[in-house]
Amino acid sequence: MKKYAYFLGCITPLRYPNIEASTKIVMRELGIQLLEMNGASCCPAPGVFGSFDLFNWLILAARNLAIAENMGVDITVTCNGCYGTLQEAAYILRNPNKRSTINETLAKEGLSYEGNVEVKHITEVILDDIGLEKIKSLIKVPLNGLKVAVHYGCHYLKPRKIRGHGSAERPTFLDELVEALGGEAVDYKDKMMCCGAGGGVRSAFSDLALRYTLDKIRNIQAAEGDCVLNPCAFCHFQLDTGQKELMESKRLEKPVPVVFVTQLLGLSLGIPVEKLGLQYNKVPPYYLEKIGLKIA
């Protein structure tokens, strides 16, 4: 059984523990063991922290990498921001001189990072370690007739040189996962637009962030999407909680349910809705009836 250190980040345990629950149960179903990272901290946030203090950003990221390295496993994440920070830090720390400088500080805590950790997004684990053909063979509840609008998120794809996912403007791998599960991946206007929250925008300019979210949801509705699939806890927070805020301010009448990638995969694998935590999303999963499911 392949093992990964599961880096939770901040948003998942604080706002959406159902993402953690669905990820753990789905990975277990697929034969992947996720290990707790005792002592892990914030990643820290790539756009905000890294922009102001690159050195201390790198120290904190390296500390998390060192914890996984001591465990003897690679890291997997369920947040694009955490993915960005940890993967970019690992990339920078391939340089032995930079690693030596950072290790001088880590030594104060009895830690050292030797550059042996790979950072993989949970979607990479699903697609690379398991593969679409294997997943197809495990499907118990095909998503027949379900129109899914995929939101990739910014930090998953850029910078392209480090991420290594091919096109950052026309990605297809999540759409291919939807199709493999029997659903229809729908195209929609401004598909690659940000959810609105990144780079501190939600914290500093909440109304602007919500305008981005509103545009995104309206475009998905125009394409008749039944739900929006995402691979990022922070995007999930903005698209789900953001729609609740838009409805409260009377700017949005009908929301589009938001589903995390391991939740949608879990539904196809026949895992009960309640175990995947879909009942805890702010926008109810109206799409369940379309695939013959419901919350008990």
pLDDT tens digit sequence for 29-88: 999 999 999 999 999 987 777 777 889 999 999 999 999 999 999 999 999 999 999 999
Q: pLDDT at position 109, please?
A: 93
How many whole angstroms separate alpha carbon 184 and alpha carbon 225? 9
pLDDT score at 204: 62
Same domain flag for 275 and 135: yes
- 48's CB contacts (< 8 A; 6+ apart) are 199, 200
d(CA 162, CA 235): 21
Integer angstrom CA distances of residue 23 from 56, 239, 269: 30, 19, 13
Are the CB atoms for 197 and 238 separated by under 8 Å? Answer: yes
167 and 21 housed in the same domain: no
pLDDT at 209: 86
User: Is residue 187 a contact partner of residue 265, using CB atoms and an 8 Å limit?
Assistant: no
Residue 255 lies in a domain: yes
126, part of any domain: no
Helix (H) or strand (E) holding 120: strand 119-121
135, 116: one domain: no
- Give kind and range of the element (H or E) at residue 74: strand 74-77
Residue 81: alpha-carbon gap to chain centroid: 8
Q: Which of 121, 147, 164 is the last residue of a domain?
A: 121
Which 8-state DSSP code applies to residue 38?
Answer: T
| pLDDT for the residue 171 | 86
Residues 6+ apart with CB under 8 A from 52: none
Could you give the 3-state DSSP secondary structure of residue 228? strand
Q: Using omega within 30 degrees of 0 as the cis cutoff, is the peptide bond preceding 44 cis?
A: yes
Tell me if 296 is assigned to some domain. Answer: no
pTM reported for the whole predicted model: 0.95
Burial class (CB in 10 A: 0-12, 13-18, 19+), 193: middle
Widest Cα–Cα separation across the chain: 57
**Are the beta carbons of 54 and 276 closer than 8 angstroms?**
no
φ and ψ at residue 88, rounded to 5 degrees: -70, -35
Same domain, 115 and 153: no
Judge if 94 and 150 occupy the same domain: no
Q: Are 39 and 153 found together in one domain?
A: no
Please list the residues that pair with 229 across neighbouring strands.
150, 259
Answer yes or no: do 108 and 141 share one domain: no
Q: Domain boundary residue among 121, 151, 175? A: 121
Instruction: Give CA–CA dist 191/220, Å, rounded.
Output: 9
**Do both 111 and 135 map to the same domain?**
no
Shared-domain flag, residues 158 and 285: yes
Instruction: Tell me the DSSP string of 127-183.
Output: IIII-HHHHHHH-SS--TT-EEEE---HHHH-SHHHH--S-SSS--HHHHHHHHTT-
Indicate the DSSP class of residue 126.
Answer: I
Q: Is residue 92 part of a domain?
A: yes
- Its domain, for residue 240, covers 131-291
Structural domain tally of the chain? 2
CATH number for 188? 3.40.50.11810
84 and 146 belong to one structural domain: no
Please answer whether residues 85 and 47 qualify as being in contact, where contact means their C-beta atoms are separated by less than 8 angstroms.
Answer: no
- DSSP H/E element including 36: strand 32-36
Q: Do residues 221 and 149 both lie within one domain?
A: yes
Write down which residue in 56, 87, 121 finishes a domain: 121
Please give the pLDDT value at position 52. Answer: 79
CATH number of the domain that 10 lies in? 1.20.1050.140
Dump pLDDT digits (tens) for 188-201: 999 998 888 776 77
* pLDDT given at position 160: 65
Asked whether residue 172 falls in the same domain as residue 278, the answer is: yes
What stretch of H or E contains 185? strand 184-185
Stretches where the chain sits below pLDDT 50 are: none
Burial class (CB in 10 A: 0-12, 13-18, 19+), 167: exposed
Amino acid letter for position 54? L
